[in-house]
Amino acid sequence: MHQLKLGDYQVGRIPEIEFPAFPAREFLPASTDEMVAEAQRLLPGRITPDGKIVMSFHSFVLKTGRHTIMVDTCCGADKPRPGREQFNVGRLDYLGQLTALGVKPEEVTHVMCTHLHWDHVGWNTRLVNGQWVPTFPNAKYIMAKREYDYWDGVYQKEKDKRDNMHVLGFEDSVLPVMRAEKAVLVADNFELDKGISIEPCHGHSPGHFVINVESGGTKGVFIGDIIHHPMQLLFPDLSCRADFDMDASRVSRKALIDKHADTGTLVLPQHFATPSCGTIKRQGNAFGFDFIAGS
């Protein structure tokens, strides 16, 4: 059970999969052997002796008392992902973990999609009688209009490419939500409630947003894929190969790190291995992360 407090609110984390996912040198193309060695020394357990970065794929559920909000929905179940079978992990009890956090799918009021990559929207839908239906039947699914329009354009052009993960993810995890009229496409200044708002943070994808939360004098930020691995705090210039625009993502990442360093803001990344959440601290020209036990 991974739970922590954010002011008067509660945040649970639902891990779907965690493993040494990719060689750092490939995932962070501008990295060097020296950088990997430094990360191995300073981040034990988060990068393997053979240089692979350990990543988690998880959701957060934010309970405010008024709202129950899912932040990103991992990879999902029963979804064809050619060449990426290791992510077809629906056999793991994702919805059971949600129940263990005291949340039934029908109680979720909002699903906030930081961006529309396939490994962030998977549980948006589930397979029922051969049809993809919204997993959270009473939720509004919040997506940035800018992000939706971009991926809709990709889908219209490339939908015949059945090995394109983004095409498949958009088709089985985003379009069915739209057709069920559960999607709400929002502008860059969307505020869900007082103290819960999005902030555009582009680069990893064209319409990526982070979610700022403030409660009881505590600040938190769900950062989506702006930082994939704490090695990018040691070396903030390192963009990842999955970034849509590596230069823009570098600018967004460095601005976000700078904004939250040494402020005590609770930072909630989508891919840091367990424990996953913490605060950013300045360490000379680089940055570190104080991980919160149990998060």
Q: Residue 290 contacts by C-beta under 8 Å, 6 or more apart in sequence?
A: 278, 279, 281
Q: Nearer to Zn ion by C-beta: 90 or 206?
A: 206
Smallest Cα–Cα separation from 235: which of 222, 262, 263, 254? 254
Structure tokens at 143: 């997506």
Q: Nearest approach, Cβ of 7 to Zn ion (angstroms)?
A: 27
Q: Nearer to Zn ion by C-beta: 117 or 250?
A: 117
Q: Rounded CA gap, 48 and 287, in Å?
A: 20
Residue 31 CA to its chain's centroid (Å): 22
Residue 147 amino acid letter: E
Q: Nearest approach, Cβ of 14 to Zn ion (angstroms)?
A: 17
Query: Which range binds Zn ion by CB under 5 A, 83-91, 142-150, 223-231, 273-281?
Result: 223-231
Residue 15 amino acid letter: P
Residues 233 and 288 sit within 8 Å (Cβ to Cβ): yes
Q: Nearer to Zn ion by C-beta: 113 or 196?
A: 113
Q: Is 253 in the site for Zn ion (CB under 5 A)?
A: no
One of 53, 225, 238, 280 touching Zn ion (CB under 5 A): 225
Looking only at Cα atoms, what is the longest distance across the chain?
56
Query: Which range binds Zn ion by CB under 5 A, 4-12, 93-101, 109-117, 153-161?
Result: 109-117
Q: Nearest approach, Cβ of 249 to Zn ion (angstroms)?
A: 10
Q: Which helix (H) or strand (E) holds 252?
A: helix 246-260
Q: Nearer to Zn ion by C-beta: 122 or 220?
A: 122
Query: Which range binds Zn ion by CB under 5 A, 112-120, 122-130, 248-256, 287-295?
Result: 112-120
DSSP category for residue 273: P
Q: Nearer to Zn ion by C-beta: 117 or 202?
A: 117
One of 58, 117, 228, 271 touching Zn ion (CB under 5 A): 117
Query: Which range binds Zn ion by CB under 5 A, 158-166, 224-232, 256-264, 274-282?
Result: 224-232
Q: Nearer to Zn ion by C-beta: 117 or 253?
A: 117
Residues 292 and 277 sit within 8 Å (Cβ to Cβ): yes
Q: Nearer to Zn ion by C-beta: 4 or 226?
A: 226
Q: Nearest approach, Cβ of 167 to Zn ion (angstroms)?
A: 15
Q: Rounded CA gap, 294 and 61, in Å?
A: 15
Q: Rounded CA gap, 128 and 111, in Å?
A: 20
**Within 18-77, which residues bind Zn ion (CB under 5 A)?**
none
Residues 200 and 144 sit within 8 Å (Cβ to Cβ): yes
Q: Nearest approach, Cβ of 133 to Zn ion (angstroms)?
A: 24
Which positions lie near Zn ion, rule CB under 5 A? Answer: 117, 225
